[in-house]
Amino acid sequence: MPCNFRCASVAHSIFSVVPARPDLTSKGKPPCCKSNQRTFSVRGTGTPKRNTQKFGQIKGGSRKLTLLATASAQPLERLPDNVTNSKVWEEMSTYLTSQKVKATSPSEAYKRTTGFFKYKLIDIRPESDFSQVHAPGATNVQLYRPLTSWDVKSTLARVTLAMLTPNIPAVEENPAFLEEMRKVAAKGDRIIVVCDSGGTLEPTASLKYGKQSRSLIAAFLLLKNGYKVFHILIGLKPKVQFPAVPT
């Protein structure tokens, strides 16, 4: 038998609660109302507000769980081994986009580093490249360092990284990247990260999640650790954009 009573838990003030007809008693209530002390009908008086209360998972529903874009407040200390994997990049790109990471041009980056807020320009290229030439005021914190071991795991990692660094000698992730970052920038500082390719989060016909780059990978790791990050869109071409700066 269908229920003729409209029973509800009133969540917002936009609903008005109207007492049920006085001639109804608990004796004649259908099963859905027997646990209530009074009977109410609910009349909507406006557009319901979005209910932000967290409820349990709906039966039959699902939630995507990922390694990278979790809701956990725990910082991410290291990058995943398969950083160039398309699914991993999809998650990284989605996270960066959700955090509204902004791209900036080299000229705009220079204005930001010399302006009122004093953004810090972090050049994450290998130290050997940085020592040859770099932008004025840049600080080098290399995301990848020369390979120190040729064990199987390191060799496989190098094969993966070769996709991002084809013209750079064998490299591996710098395990001290975050430690070195903490020495030159606090979490509240505004950071601009730069490599020599730039990368982009803008989708293209062939790259749905944008073009991956070392600066965007670094931006992901820094965001996960509380930094405010920009990245230089077209990458740093210091030999063209800046004069050589001796170290």
Distance CA 168, CA 35 (A): 72
Residue 195 annotated among the catalytic residues of the structure: yes
Instruction: Give how far Cα 215 sits from Cα of 34, 112, 137, 206, Å.
Output: 62, 17, 17, 21
Place of tokens 């990278």: 68
Instruction: Give how far Cα 28 sits from Cα of 22, 24, 32, 90, 187, Å.
Output: 13, 7, 11, 58, 64
To 10 degrees, the CA torsion angle through 113, 91, 82, 204?
-80
Sheet with 139-140: strands ordered across: 102-104, 228-232, 190-194, 120-123, 139-140
Q: Which two tokens stand for residue 18?
A: 């109207």
- Among 3, 7, 32, 195, which one carries the catalytic annotation? 195
Q: What is the largest CA-CA distance in the chain?
A: 92
DSSP state of 200: B
Which residues are catalytic, by number? 195
